[in-house]
Structure 1
Amino acid sequence: MRHADRVRDRRNRVIVVAADPAVVAGVGSFGAYVLSNESEQKKAAEAAARAPVEGEKDWDATKLGRNRVAKSVTYPMKPPVGGDHDQAWMNCEGDVYKKPVPDMKAVHSLEHGAVWVRSSDKASASTSRSSPRRSAGHRTRR
């Protein structure tokens, strides 16, 4: 019986020695696959972020001007994104205006970092429902 025990022990050692590299290779391959897959997803997301936005336009800020003027300004784009502007700006505390904001005042506000969200009565009902609203305690300007 001792001989049979030795044979069984030897066989078990051979199986363990042979199986260990296969298990290690399998775990390593799985890890490499997961990392590669995450890397591919990250690359795809970065490529999508760099892709141009359909309909996106840009303007040369050096040609638009940044002067405060008293005369009326006609902007080459609608809504204006920059250029000469009024000497006074709009309240930039997140107010929602019921009436259109004068372009020249809005451009001045943009120069100081304000965000200007513009809508019209032609907007769909779903767009109107998703439009920005002020938080409690702030005024709506008329």
Structure 2
Amino acid sequence: MKAARGSVVSKKGTPWGTIIAVVAIVALAASVIIYYMVQSAPKRAQADREAAAASFAPTASEPDPSKRIPGVVTATYTGSVHVLPTERVAYDKTPPFGGPHDQTWATCTGIVYPTAVRTENMVHALEHGAVWIAYNPQQITGDALNMLSVRAKGKPYTMLSPYPGLDKPISLQSWGHQLKVDDANDARIDEFIAALRSNPNGVYPEVGASCDAVPGQFDPDNPPPFNPAKPGPDAKPMDYKGSTAAQGEQGMPQSAPASAPASAPASAPTTK
């Protein structure tokens, strides 16, 4: 009997099924980890860039830290001047970063627009405290475009779009501020965003204004297209006072005073 039992034990084989299952689980776990590391790398790199730019966040003692950023150009513009969807503005800058604009703002809730959007709508979003990252689609593609996209996608008060004919690869706009750079790795991009996006210190006219889509007036999935043609003689000048039939904020008449929940308090500054 003892000999028989010994013979049965000695004939037990290696548990290959168990070994294969364990190896498969380990391989699957490793592939999941590798996939996560690869997919999350752009976001982790962006988190590092934002941490490096944190010292440019606005404070009461330094309301506009963008003044420390080399290359930033500023101008003073009057806010709340609206034109109709059929009208154009003869802007003084390319891309513009202030001046008369469409009565409806472009959605600026972390939107990455795949095609160029009507300029007059984009400028209105700047009035609400958004940062607009524009890029030359002939110069910015692939990894460089991905680096810009991760700065905008899902970030409140931020929008990214191509801008055909742009004289530099990348141009950042906030109301009254502009920075043009050559490289998506430029640290000044994140410094500009940290200093000016939703800055609460009156560097744009309508503090606290919405960046949400305006139902029935602006569809972020099908926005009004960019017009590359030079504005004609009927374009509104930079000192324009606003179209009579244009609506004000929240669809109010242009001449009506803003009130809650309008996009800006009456006491909000209108110039830098």
**TM-score of the superposed pair, with normalisation by structure 1:** 0.51
1:1-80 → structure 2 map (5 Å cutoff): 53-62=69-78, 66-70=80-84, 71-80=87-96
From 128, 147, 156, give the equivalent of 1:112.
128
* Residues in 2 aligned to 1:58 and 1:92: alpha-carbon distance in whole angstroms: 21
The yes-or-no answer on 1:100 pairing with 2:116 is yes
1:58 Cα deviation (Å)? Answer: 1.1
Contact 2:83 2:100 in 1 (8 A): yes
Distance 1:86 1:57 in 2: 23
Q: CA deviation at 1:113?
A: 1.5
Q: How far 1:124 moved relative to its partner?
A: 5.4
Are 2:145 and 1:128 equivalent residues in the alignment? yes
Aligned to 1:83: 99
> Structure 2: how far apart are the matches of 1:60 and 1:110?
13
* Distance of aligned partners of 1:131 and 1:141 in 2 relative to their CA distance in 1, 3 Å threshold: farther
Name the structure where helix makes up a greater proportion of residues.
1
Contiguous gaps of at least 5 residues in structure 1 = 1-48
**Residue deviations 1:56-95, cap 9 Å, x none?**
2111224xx5401123101111111111000111112211
- Give the deviation of 1:118 after TM superposition: 1.2
Matches of 1:89 and 1:51 in 2, distance apart?
26
Higher strand share: 2
Q: What secondary structure does 1:118 align onto? A: strand
Counterparts in 2 of 1:54 and 1:100: CA distance versus 1, 3 Å: same
Cα distance in 1 between the residues matched to 2:122 and 2:135: 14
Cα distance in 1 for partners of 2:103, 2:112 equals 21
Tell me the distance in 1 between the aligned counterparts of 2:118 and 2:148.
Answer: 19
The percent of aligned pairs where both chains have the same amino acid is 32
TM-score by length of 2: 0.29
**Aligned length in residues:** 88
Would you say the 8 A contact 1:68–1:86 is kept in 2? yes
Cα distance in 1 for partners of 2:131, 2:66 equals 22
- In the aligned structure 2, how far is the partner of 1:104 from the partner of 1:73? 7
Residues 1:58 and 1:130: Cα distance change in structure 2 (over 3 Å): same
Whole-Å separation in 1 of the counterparts to 2:70 and 2:112: 28
- State the shift of 1:102 in Å: 1.0
Name the SS for the 1:132 alignment partner: helix
Deviation at 1:115, TM superposition (A): 1.9
When the two chains are superposed, the root-mean-square deviation of aligned CA atoms in Å is 2.6
Deviation for aligned residue 1:129 = 2.6
C-alpha separation between the residues in 1 aligned to 2:118 and 2:67? 33
Any idea what SS the aligned residue of 1:60 has? coil
Unaligned runs of 5+ in 2: 1-64, 155-219, 223-272
